[in-house]
Amino acid sequence: MKIYNNPSRANWPSLLQRPAKDLSNLRASVSSIMQSVKEGGDATLRELTARFDKVELGDLAVDAETIAAASDQLSPELRKAITLAKQNIERFHLAQQTKPEEIETMPGVTCWREARGIEKVGLYIPGGTAPLFSTVLMLATPAAIAGCGEVVLCSPPNRETGEIHPAVLYAASLCGVTKIFRVGGAQAIAAMAYGTESVPAVYKLFGPGNAYVTVAKQLAQLDGLAIDMPAGPSEVLVGADAGAKASWIAADLLAQAEHGADSQVVLVVDNEEQAEEVKTEVERQLAELPRREMAGASIANSMILILPERKDQLDYINAYAPEHLILSMEDARAFAHGIQNAGSIFLGYHTPESVGDYASGTNHTLPTYGYARNYSGVSLDSFVKKITFQELTEEGLRKLGPAVETMAEAEELKGHALAVTVRLADLN
């Protein structure tokens, strides 16, 4: 990891950059894949699965028997852990429900909002370098709470077995998802965007993926489909004080680095000695990681900043807007009051980012690449839309109507004014 000792603010722009990844060169090929799925349906999905995943598929859907049998393929410890995580995620997202509150904006005029679950949602669960069954819990749990009528899940089949990992199937069944399809990549996004003979079309897409999936979601959005948020490689920023143990900090950095070669990790400390100690510890722990090659590539894109002043630390963190922010500090809560931009914050020495990835209850689908400046992570609200209501009594129309007539006339929208005028005339 590169160490930057108290860099001037003039040099900060270069220290806020993520590893560059130009996706424009993928647009043509991804667009071609999506168009072919749109036109060819299931047959094209089978052809693309054979080409990219090296799996020959018959039925694209996972049958009920296979889903039910997934439980027996997992250890009791893993089933128990998944169940615990689901309970915590459910508890946290249930608390996000709101009851409609009727507001009388003036006598006789009542307004309120009600939430409605998005009727059809699609969940994409990657299955490449790791089976992300935790993402199933993060997406399917709030979808169920929101009351989404149809939940469709796509995940690529394993090259050896031709099946989806049993942990993904178990997590899906735990959340009530039954429409599961062995399809991955851009073709899965196309299938859920446009629909095929087997895969239903949805109204909104959720889930992470590789560069092809990211571009496919962008193109689907251009076609009118909603998506959860713009996505980039995963990242973490750790802010640590003198009380933070180097081995703990290093483990937090490497936990994120092992996501992928294009992930970035950043450490902010206030002294050179601690920076060097963590750097040494990262190198030691990296050598012992099974995914050390991937994590090592990420570490090469990463850095340690020595910023002696607390205000500089705070300003840099807000400018970087990390997906995950670990505040390994004694006064983490106090420091966090100044944070404006972050996807999810982990407070104190005993809160590794891993707990949020799996089981604390918060959602791990978060804005990356600086989008935490203007996007929130996935929540219950991501799966609902809010409908506004208004109801006027005769008194309300008499009091509000003249103002509406005046405003409509000023905008030269006579029809708008007339809708009020005819009613007031009859009332009078």
Supply the DSSP string of 41-68, one letter for each residue: HHHHHHHHHHHHT----S-SBPPHHHHH
Q: Which of 323, 337, 394, 412 is catalytic?
A: 323
**Is 165 a known active-site residue?**
no
Supply the DSSP string of 360-396, one letter for each residue: SSS------TTGGGT-PPP-GGGGEEEEEEEEE-HHH
Q: Nearest CA to 220 among 31, 24, 25? A: 31
Amino acid type, 111: C
- Residues 108, 112, 113, CA angle at the centre, nearest 5°? 165
**Is 323 a known active-site residue?**
yes
Which two structure tokens, joined as six digits, stand for 25? Answer: 């060169």
Amino acid type, 321: A
324 labeled part of a ligand binding site:
yes
Packing angle between helix 185-194 and helix 27-52, nearest 10 degrees? 110
CA dihedral 308, 311, 314, 318 (to 10 degrees): -130
357 labeled part of a ligand binding site:
yes
Contact 180, 155 (CB under 8 A): yes
411 labeled part of a ligand binding site:
yes
234 labeled part of a ligand binding site:
yes
| Separation CA 345–CA 341 (nearest Å) | 10
| Separation CA 376–CA 378 (nearest Å) | 7
Q: Which of 324, 337, 394, 412 is catalytic?
A: 324
User: What phi and psi values does residue 325 have, to the nearest 5 degrees?
Assistant: -125, 115
In 41-135 the beta strands, taken as DSSP E runs, fall at 103-106, 109-117, 120-124
187 labeled part of a ligand binding site:
yes
Which residues are annotated as part of the binding site for substrate?
A: 234, 256, 259, 324, 357, 411, 416
Which residues are annotated as part of the binding site for NAD(+)?
A: 124, 187, 210
Which residues are annotated as part of the binding site for Zn(2+)?
A: 256, 259, 357, 416
Among all residues, which ones are annotated catalytic? Answer: 323-324
